[in-house]
């Protein structure tokens, strides 16, 4: 069996994440948001790719995260931009949940999107 070499940094408790708003954490000077997607937790870039609004101030409804500034939306399942906008998908980071704690890879590791 291949041994996991990645290191992980605890950043939040799962209980801290609500269903209707992202939770912002700052790791290595990078703003990251944590979202609940069903029983899973996703980690995305915390600044909107349009004009860098803090997405933690946005809201989540019907499977989309809505930017607080100009209301672009992003699918919470994969970070892709919703209709009416041509923005890149949100950068997604590796995240792990264990014993109710959310950890991000250390150093941060991108699953998809620009590093
Ligand atoms: S800053 Fe997010 S839509 Fe403009």
**Domain of residue 95, CATH code:** 2.102.10.10
- Which domain range does residue 90 map to? 7-112
Q: Ligand 1 mean position to 46 CA, how many Å? A: 12
Is 2 part of a structural domain of the chain? no
Is 37 part of a structural domain of the chain? yes
Each residue's pLDDT tens digit, 17-69: 999 999 999 998 999 999 999 999 999 999 999 999 999 999 999 999 999 99
Q: Quick one: pLDDT at residue 110?
A: 92
Could you give the CA distance from residue 9 to residue 79 in angstroms, rounded to a whole number?
22
Confidence of residue 84 (pLDDT cuts 50, 70, 90): very high
Give yes or no for residue 4 having a pLDDT over 80: no
Is 101 part of a structural domain of the chain? yes
Q: Quick one: pLDDT at residue 113?
A: 73
Number of domains in the chain: 1
The atom of ligand 1 lying closest to the CA of 51 is: 1
C-alpha distances in angstroms, 91 versus 5, 45, 73? Answer: 22, 5, 14
């Amino acid at each position: 069996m291949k041994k996991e070499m990645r290191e992980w940094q605890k950043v939040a408790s799962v209980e801290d994440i609500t269903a209707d708003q992202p939770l912002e954490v700052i790791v290595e000077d990078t703003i990251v948001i944590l979202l609940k997607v069903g029983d899973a937790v996703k980690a995305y870039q915390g600044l909107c790719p349009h004009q860098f609004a803090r997405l933690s101030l946005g809201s989540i409804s019907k499977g989309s995260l809505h930017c607080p500034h100009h209301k672009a939306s992003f699918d919470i399942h994969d970070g892709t931009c919703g209709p009416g906008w041509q923005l890149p998908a949100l950068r997604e980071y590796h995240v792990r949940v264990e014993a109710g704690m959310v950890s991000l890879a250390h150093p941060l590791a991108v699953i998809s999107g620009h590093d």
